[in-house]
Amino acid sequence: MTVNATPTPGAVPLATEGYKPPKATHKARVLPGFGLSLGITLTYLSLIVVLPLAALLARPWEHGLDGVWQTISDPRVLASLRLTFTTSLLAALVNLFAGLIVAWVLTRYEFPGKGLVDALVDLPFALPTAVAGVSLCSMYAANGWVGSLFAPLGLRIAYTPLGIFVALVFVGLPFIVRSVQPVLAEFDAEVEEAAATLGATPLQTTLRVIVPSLAPALLTGFSLAFARAVGEYGSVIFIAGNMPFVSEITPLLIVIKLEEFDYAGAAAIAVAMLSLAFLSLLLVNALQLLLSRRGRA
Partner 1 sequence: MRARAPERPKTPAAFLLMALAAVWMALVIVLPLVNVLAEAFKQGVQPYLSAIVQPDALSAIRLTLTVAAIAVPLNAVFGIAAAWCVTRFDFAGKGLLLSVLDLPFTISPVISGMVWVLLFGAHGWFASVLEASNIKIIYALPGLVIATVLVTLPFVARELIPLMQDQGTDEEIAAVTLGASGWDVFFRVTLPNIKWALTYGVLLCTARAMGEFGAVSVVSGHIRGLTNTLPLHIEVLYNEYDSVGAFGAATLLAGLALVTLVLKTLLEWRFGDELAANRRH
Q: By CB under 8 A, what part of segment 119-158 binds partner 1?
A: 119-124, 126-139, 144-146
Region binding partner 1 by CB under 8 A among candidate stretches 25-33, 67-75, 151-159, 240-248? 25-33
Closest contact distance (angstroms) between CB of 280 and partner 1 is 12
261 binds partner 1 (CB under 8 A): yes
Least distance from partner 1 to the Cβ atom of residue 168, Å: 11
How far CA 112 is from CA of 116, 118, 119, 162, 176, in Å, comes to: 9, 11, 13, 34, 23
Distance in Å, CB of 290 to partner 1, minimum: 22
DSSP 155-179: ---TTSHHHHHHHHHHHHHHHHHHH
Q: How far is the CB of 31 from partner 1 (least distance, A)?
A: 5
Give SS3 for 200. Answer: coil
Least Å distance between CB 70 and partner 1? 19
**69 near partner 1 (CB under 8 A):** no
Query: Residue 190 CA to chain centroid, in angstroms?
Result: 33
Alpha-carbon distance of 53 to 267, in angstroms, equals 10
Nearest CA to 143 out of 157, 133, 163, 160 is that of 157
3-state secondary structure of 244: coil
Q: Which stretch binds partner 1 (CB under 8 A): 66-74, 151-159, 168-176, 287-295?
A: 168-176
Q: Does 56 bind partner 1 (CB under 8 A)?
A: yes
Nearer to partner 1, 161 or 177 (CB): 177
* Footprint (CB under 8 A) of partner 1, residues 93-122: 98, 101-102, 104-111, 115, 117, 119-122
Please state, in angstroms and as integers, the Cα–Cα distance from residue 128 to each residue in 224, 235, 259, following that order. 18, 8, 24
